[in-house]
Structure 1
């Protein structure tokens, strides 16, 4: 079972980008904000450990916006 929340995703992405969570625009292309493939792989591993066991790099690379990642990973 995944323990991922929208807040955790935003905080993890912000940490990967070394910025405050409030600066991560959910609609922005995270690659444009500096999130490279190595950081995305780190997020994949972190989020697999939090219960998103079927998550693959391609799932995140397909649409590199936080809003898309929330739709894919956060269960309401």
Structure 2
């Protein structure tokens, strides 16, 4: 997977769909428990594929719906 997304971008995109401030999301929180449903996860997949994460798919995110995991997956680094 090509890592072209910044940790700030990942956090901001998730926060936008949750309708909260990016700083309110802890890296280890379960995003599904915070209200992120499968439709919104697919919105993120599409958005991030367009931004360069060409091989990203729904299962990559649904398997471990935590901001820290997603950030590491998409940026190649730590949250």
Q: Report TM bin, short chain.
A: over 0.9
- Asked if the contact 1:3–1:50 (Cα under 8 Å) also holds between the matched residues in 2, the reply is yes
- 1-structure distance, mates of 2:59, 2:53: 14
- 1-structure distance, mates of 2:8, 2:72: 13
Aligned residue pairs total 76
For normalisation by structure 1, the TM-score amounts to 0.94
Are 1:53 and 2:54 matched, yes or no?
yes
Pairwise CA RMSD: 1.1
- Asked if the contact 2:3–2:53 (Cα under 8 Å) also holds between the matched residues in 1, the reply is yes
Aligned equivalent of 2:10: 9
- Runs ≥4 in structure 1, deviation > 6 angstroms? none
Segments of structure 2 that go 5 or more residues without pairing to the other structure are: none
